[in-house]
Homo-oligomer: A and B are copies of this chain.
Amino acid sequence: MASKVLDPDNINENVKKCVYAVRGELYLRASELQKEGKKIIFTNVGNPHALGQKPLTFPRQVMALCQAPFLMDDPNVGLLFPPDAVARAKHYLSMTSGGVGAYSDSRGLPGVRQEVAEFIQKRDGYPSDPEHIFLTDGASKGVMMMLNALIRNEKDGVLVPIPQYPLYSASIALYGGILIPYYLNEESNWSLDFSDVRNQVVIARNKKIVPRALVFINPGNPTGQCLSVTNLQDLIKFCYKERLLLMADEVYQVNVYQDERPFVSAKKVLMDMGAPYSNTVELVSFHSVSKGFLGECGQRGGYFEMTNIHPQTVEELYKVASISLSPNVVGQIMMGLMVTPPRPFDISYPQYQAESKAIIESMRRRAHIMTDGFNKCEDVVCNFTEGAMYSFPRIKLSKAAMDAAAQAGKAADVFYCLKLLEATGISTVPGSGFGQKEGTLHLRTTILPLEQDMPGIMAKFQKFHADFMAQYSDYSVSSRL
């Protein structure tokens, strides 16, 4: 019989090439187990509300009113909503052309883009132009749009830190480019190793690959490190020298759990450096409502800001954005709310402050609980989660465990994570999904389970790990026989 048009053998090769581990084998198995009634702790993806984090009250009040503006004509509205939420809902609705049910401009609502520009200006101390800001359905969609425009053919390469967030590897594969890996240095807390960056560019060029862009994630995903200003300066100088577009994934900028290196944006560092950097280095910076203390992943709000990008290319990107008409308007308003929190004299200010502070402070404590918990295990080493939402412990497995994995036809880290899932319900992602130095094995987990659940989860992990290591010990009775 003739094959189908959409036979797997007949579809776009690039679609098949991409791999997305965060929702890969482990996630699929966890979903199956959940269907069978097993309690699963989904720490495979940074999805705070799924693990019990409550949404902040004020943004949700505003959003409810934006969805149902007729409530504001009801004399009882004041019984359920504070006046500053009503005022803010009116503010955002006035920016739309017909409420949240109308398409916006394909770059997003001009009013929200203005608010984002003001946020950036306040954060960095440098002007930001709303015409260079596009709102997107989450940061991922923005990253994909940029990579699609950047990658011209199968010789175009993008430098990506390894371990990396697989959005990058998957999108680069989907758009037919080449990922040029540069390795972060686990021994010095996942720091940037510039000699490796330089080296990889040389290797790539020798293979006739054209390096076009360099991605960094700060704070790091899955590695949790925070970059120093010096690191950022070096990256910018490198991009200047090598003529690379710098893609700054800064979605975790609020999730910082150490005080030595507060978040500084690539935009600010670039502007601080002055000419010839500040007026030539092409930079695209990404941000999102999904992370920080909002954690509003499901609302799909994101933006990117373009610096030193050719105006005609900005127009081309506008055209591409137009094909799917507009990002979702609810996510855009959530972005407006994120960058414009209640002011000190607003009625909702104290509650907003209390709620947001409680979340970030708890995340900081959880980062410690988790890192410490991993480091208490034999043959597990974990750098401190300085920022973002993940721990990425290294697991040293015995030969017996490696052999068992090979026999099961699984990569060793996948084997370990599957066993962990079956034994404890903890759903993680094997390090191979992010890339890891050959000979090393890791897993990624989020620090997002509720704080009160965290000690129990770490105890479960520790017990599992001890049992696993005992079962697959190279010196066990069975292997000595």
Q: How many residues does chain A have at the interface if contact means C-beta atoms less than 8 Å apart?
A: 103
A478 at the interface (CB under 8 A from B): no
Beta-carbon contact of A23 and B310 below 8 Å: no
Given known contacts A67-B63, A103-B47, A297-B101, A322 and B12 CB-to-CB distance under 8 angstroms? no
Known: A10-B152, A45-B103, A98-B298; 6 extra A-B contacts, CB below 8 A, are A12-B149, A23-B322, A47-B98, A63-B68, A166-B323, A328-B331
Beta-carbon contact of B297 and A103 below 8 Å: yes
Beta-carbon contact of A328 and B316 below 8 Å: no
State the Cβ distance, A189 to closest chain B Cβ, in Å.
28
Give bound CA distance, A99 to B148, whole Å.
32
Beta-carbon contact of B141 and A6 below 8 Å: no
A5 at the interface (CB under 8 A from B): yes
Determine which of B22, B102, B245 lies in contact with A5 in the assembled complex, contact meaning CB atoms within 8 Å.
B245
As a 0/1 sequence over residues 19 to 51 of chain A, the CB contacts with chain B under 8 angstroms (1 = contact) are 110110000000100000000001001011111
Q: Which residues of B contact A151 (CB under 8 A)?
A: 12
State the Cβ distance, A238 to closest chain B Cβ, in Å.
13
Beta-carbon contact of A101 and B298 below 8 Å: yes
Give bound CA distance, A382 to B167, whole Å.
48
Beta-carbon contact of B6 and A323 below 8 Å: no
**A residues 275-295 in Cβ contact with B at 8 Å:** 282, 290, 294-295
Which residues of A are in contact with B by a Cβ distance under 8 Å? 2, 4-8, 10-13, 15-16, 18-20, 22-23, 31, 42, 45, 47-53, 55, 57, 60-61, 63-65, 67-68, 70-71, 74, 76-77, 79-80, 96-106, 137-138, 140-141, 144, 148-152, 166-167, 170-171, 174-175, 212-213, 243-245, 282, 290, 294-300, 308-310, 312-313, 316-317, 319-320, 322-331
Beta-carbon contact of B23 and A316 below 8 Å: no
Beta-carbon contact of B316 and A8 below 8 Å: yes
Q: Which residues of B contact A10 (CB under 8 A)?
A: 152
Give bound CA distance, A141 to B320, whole Å.
12
Q: Which residues of B contact A331 (CB under 8 A)?
A: 328
Q: Which residues of B contact A101 (CB under 8 A)?
A: 48-49, 55, 294-299
Q: Which residues of B contact A15 (CB under 8 A)?
A: 148-149, 316-317, 319-320
Beta-carbon contact of A13 and B47 below 8 Å: no
Beta-carbon contact of A96 and B65 below 8 Å: no
Q: Closest B residue to A156 by CB, please name it.
A: B12
Given known contacts A8-B310, A45-B103, A300 and B328 CB-to-CB distance under 8 angstroms? yes
State the Cβ distance, A67 to closest chain B Cβ, in Å.
4
Given known contacts A11-B152, A96-B298, A171 and B323 CB-to-CB distance under 8 angstroms? yes
